[in-house]
Amino acid sequence: MPDRIHSYVHLHLVSDATGETLIAVARAVAAQYASVRAIEHVYPLVRSQKQLERVITDIEDAPGIVLYTLIGAELSERLEKRCKEIGTPCVSVLAPVLGVFRSYLGTESTPRIGGQHVLNTEYFRRIDALNYTLLHDDGQMPEDLNEADVVLVGISRTSKTPTSIYLANRGIKTANIPVVPGIPLPPQLDEVTKPLIVGLIASPERIVQIRQNRLLSLNADDNTAYVDKSSVAAEIAFTRKLCARQGWPLIDVTRRSIEETAAAILAHYKEHANDA
């Protein structure tokens, strides 16, 4: 078959659960093709033939790549058969991994739709972490900082809040404290013994750009030290000195995604837990 070059590709993601696994896998792979735009069609909670037929109709209307996580053999077979008939690649994302488990363990799996979303202890730990994190955003409720697993400190626009929420989704209770020129940090921060404290910084150019966009969205005056490059550089220098003095790890988020920042924090957290 001759090579075909597409500027876009339709991705049909078919799941009998939430589809989160498929979305994560599809985006991880699609990111490797910078010149191709992936158009996602997500079909969660597909659990009947009637629902599947609607999906197949959409696939016929916009052929592309089909990825699926369907536990029921009947639905899987129907989807694969129809995709083969219309010449569309169709892949079960979990099948290769299930095969490795089956081979290694010497036993068959027990099919459970959405098995990773059961209401177990881990699930409720994540909910507890989210509740704590939302209540301790932007320096709120510092009196119980010692209950946190991680405390993030940094100047405005260093992605403290989204990083905190991402960590909370991993079951890590996370508080974040803003570093503001002329305003002392909460005294409770000097008294904590349990949490890992991590400083976040970014380049002055990046901070200024984000802050300018923020002011623009608020229709606010940008003639302020908040977006002055030298003032921002001074804030960053202060954060560096603070973290060095306290012995807190410091992470530059300039070129990091939230996920990459969180991964670096989790690596520090693992070391912190081992040393405790």
Are 134 and 269 members of one domain?
yes
110 is an annotated ligand-binding site residue: no
4 is an annotated ligand-binding site residue: no
Are 93 and 110 members of one domain?
yes
**Both tokens assigned to 198:** 């991590």
155 is an annotated ligand-binding site residue: yes
Q: Which residues pair with 152 in a beta bridge?
A: 176, 198
Does residue 6 register a pLDDT over 70?
A: no
Are 26 and 71 members of one domain?
yes
Distance CA 210, CA 184 (A): 24
Are 74 and 12 members of one domain?
yes
Query: Within a domain: residue 66?
Result: yes
**Both tokens assigned to 118:** 């059961």
Q: What is the pLDDT of residue 2?
A: 43
Q: Are 169 and 130 in contact (CB under 8 A)?
A: yes
Are 111 and 132 members of one domain?
no
Which of the listed residues 98, 116, 134 is the one where a domain comes to its end?
A: 116
Are 105 and 128 members of one domain?
no
Which of the listed residues 67, 86, 116 is the one where a domain comes to its end?
A: 116
* % of the chain with per-residue pLDDT over 90: 77
Q: What is the pLDDT of residue 72?
A: 87
Which tens digits make up the pLDDT trace of 146-204? Answer: 999 999 999 999 999 999 999 999 999 999 999 998 899 999 999 999 999 999 999 99
Are 154 and 263 members of one domain?
yes
Does residue 134 register a pLDDT over 50?
A: yes
Are 73 and 148 members of one domain?
no
Which of the listed residues 82, 116, 150 is the one where a domain comes to its end?
A: 116
Distance CA 20, CA 224 (A): 42
Q: What is the pLDDT of residue 1?
A: 40
- Look-up: residue for tokens 């991964």? 263
160 is an annotated ligand-binding site residue: yes
72 is an annotated ligand-binding site residue: no
**Both tokens assigned to 14:** 């078919």
Q: CATH number of the domain at 92, please.
A: 3.40.50.2300
Are 17 and 139 members of one domain?
no
156 is an annotated ligand-binding site residue: yes
In the chain, the N- to C-terminal Cα span, in Å, equals 59
Query: Within a domain: residue 1?
Result: no
Q: What is the pLDDT of residue 115?
A: 63
Does residue 110 register a pLDDT over 50?
A: yes
Neighbours of 137 (CB within 10 A): 17
Distance CA 79, CA 70 (A): 10
Q: Are 46 and 75 in contact (CB under 8 A)?
A: yes
**Both tokens assigned to 125:** 């730990």
Q: Are strands 37-43 and 174-178 parallel, antiparallel or unpaired?
A: unpaired
Distance CA 16, CA 71 (A): 7
Identify the residue with better confidence: 110 or 57: 57
177 is an annotated ligand-binding site residue: no
Distance CA 263, CA 84 (A): 40
Distance CA 234, CA 20 (A): 42
Eight-state DSSP code of residue 147: G
Give the domain extent around 62: 8-116
Structural domains counted in the chain: 2
Identify the residue with better confidence: 40 or 219: 40
3-state secondary structure of 45: coil
Are 144 and 254 members of one domain?
yes
Q: What is the pLDDT of residue 119?
A: 60
Are 99 and 216 members of one domain?
no
Q: Angle CA(121)–CA(126)–CA(128) in degrees, nearest 5?
A: 90
Which tens digits make up the pLDDT trace of 138-147? Answer: 999 999 999 9
* 118 band by pLDDT with thresholds 50, 70 and 90: low
139 is an annotated ligand-binding site residue: no
